[in-house]
Amino acid sequence: MNFCSNCGSSAIRLTVPPGDNRPRFVCASCNEIFYHNPKIVAGCIAEWQDKILMCKRAIEPRYGMWTFPAGFMENEESVSEAAARETYEEAIAKVTGLTLYSLYSLPHINQVYVVYRAVLVEGRASPGAESLEVALMGEKDVPWQDIAFPVIRESLEQYFEDKQKNRFSLHHGDMRRQAGHDYEIIRY
């Protein structure tokens, strides 16, 4: 942040505002305080018969890697609406019967993943603008070496574990990146 988006001044300071307890970007000219908060990523594991809907990313980051549909929640929508919208945008797929399935905090990148299970209407899907291809996959079809993000891998592993037990429970946890590519995962 280089300039105040309110008054245009360059007198932006990272400082703890009065009554607050952590540094914020504050404009020394008009006193506007700028807050930055975590974003929600809403996703959908869309089931059709014995398979789930997967997308091969046509955008960065992780171009060419696989994920289930997921993306940033927008203003003026609910979390489940965001999950359904992302599924439509990425895989031209309609979903119904959304059930909250997991909530994961990723503090190192200021994201919170909220993932739903849902039914893929009529099993129909085709690549949206952000996908190179889409596919219905069982556990053995999943390209486990080419999963776009660790939280997607974690969610998929949980899903297939639950599926094997035929008992889906809500998953809640934190994933923090450690040194290198390792993650600490806390499951509540």
Provide the b/e sequence for 9-37 (b: ≥16 CB within 10 Å).
Answer: eeebeeeeeeeeeeeebbbeeeebeeeee
Task: Name the residue nearer to its own copies (CB basis): 76 or 122.
Answer: 76
Cα–Cα nearest to 101, from 151, 139, 149, 27: 151
Q: Is 63 in the site for its own copies (CB under 8 A)?
A: no
Name residues whose C-beta falls within 8 Å of residue 18's C-beta, 6 or more positions apart in sequence.
none
Q: Is 110 in the site for its own copies (CB under 8 A)?
A: yes
Residue of the chain from 16, 28, 170, 185 that contacts its own copies (CB under 8 A)? 170
On whether the CB atoms of residues 102 and 40 are closer than 8 A, the answer is no
What are the φ/ψ torsions at residue 177 (nearest 5 degrees)? -75, 130
Stretch that binds its own copies, among 44-52, 70-78, 136-144, 157-165 (CB under 8 A): 70-78
Tokens 């599926």 map to which residue?
Answer: 163
- Binding positions for its own copies, 81-100, rule CB under 8 A: 81, 89, 98-100
Q: Is 167 in the site for its own copies (CB under 8 A)?
A: no
Residue of the chain from 18, 122, 164, 188 that contacts its own copies (CB under 8 A)? 188
- Binding positions for its own copies, 21-60, rule CB under 8 A: 21-22, 34-40
Q: Is 77 in the site for its own copies (CB under 8 A)?
A: yes
Name residues whose C-beta falls within 8 Å of residue 126's C-beta, 6 or more positions apart in sequence.
91, 92, 93, 134
Task: Name the residue nearer to its own copies (CB basis): 88 or 160.
Answer: 88
Q: Is 114 in the site for its own copies (CB under 8 A)?
A: yes
Q: How far apart are CA 181 and CA 188, in angstroms?
A: 22
Q: What is the DSSP letter of 73?
A: P
Q: Is 162 in the site for its own copies (CB under 8 A)?
A: no
Q: What residues line the site for its own copies (CB under 8 A)?
A: 1-8, 10, 12, 19, 21-22, 34-40, 72-81, 89, 98-100, 103, 105, 107-108, 110, 112, 114, 129, 170, 172, 174, 188
